[in-house]
Structure 1
């Protein structure tokens, strides 16, 4: 199977941008050490500071799914509960 690309779009509530950003930043170092993680990059929109995008590449979907149930992701979800306006996740495959 081809590697899996994840595009995760997180839009914080305007009043909670700093909190959400802080919690997202906590995920980076630990996630990059996980088995199967190729890239895990966080971006913040220049025009809309409430909008964050994770661009991720994983060796397999199974390894990404293991990431999704890790304790650090659960801690992020608890810390940001009610503070995120929208969340969209796309599983993608490179086709070129």
Structure 2
């Protein structure tokens, strides 16, 4: 089984930074307890406080997909609807 790394970049609208941060923080303990989650870390850009980055490692893409369909992720998306200016996600494979 190939492990999967995820890099998610979230740029909050300037007036919604605190909301996005709080909602992202709610995901930490729930996601870390999910089957297949090896690492789930939230970061914030030191120079651009509206920019958050989540770095994830999963046992497999299938288990990550299960996470993507989990109720707590749907709740995050609903709570932050209209609060995120930009979102990018990269699926990565560790090569060394």
Aligned match of 1:25:
25
1:3 aligns with 2:8: no
The alignment yields a C-alpha RMSD, in angstroms, of: 0.5
Q: Which runs of 4+ in 1 moved over 4 A?
A: none
User: How many pairs does the alignment contain?
Assistant: 96
The Cα of 1:60 is off from its aligned counterpart by 0.2
Aligned match of 1:69:
69
Can you list the C-alpha shifts for 1:21-57, whole angstroms capped at 9, x where unaligned? Answer: 0000000000000000000000000000000000000
Aligned match of 2:13:
13
What 5-or-longer segments of structure 1 have no aligned partner?
none
Aligned match of 2:58:
58
TM-score (norm 2): 0.99
The Cα of 1:86 is off from its aligned counterpart by 0.2
TM-score (norm 1): 0.99
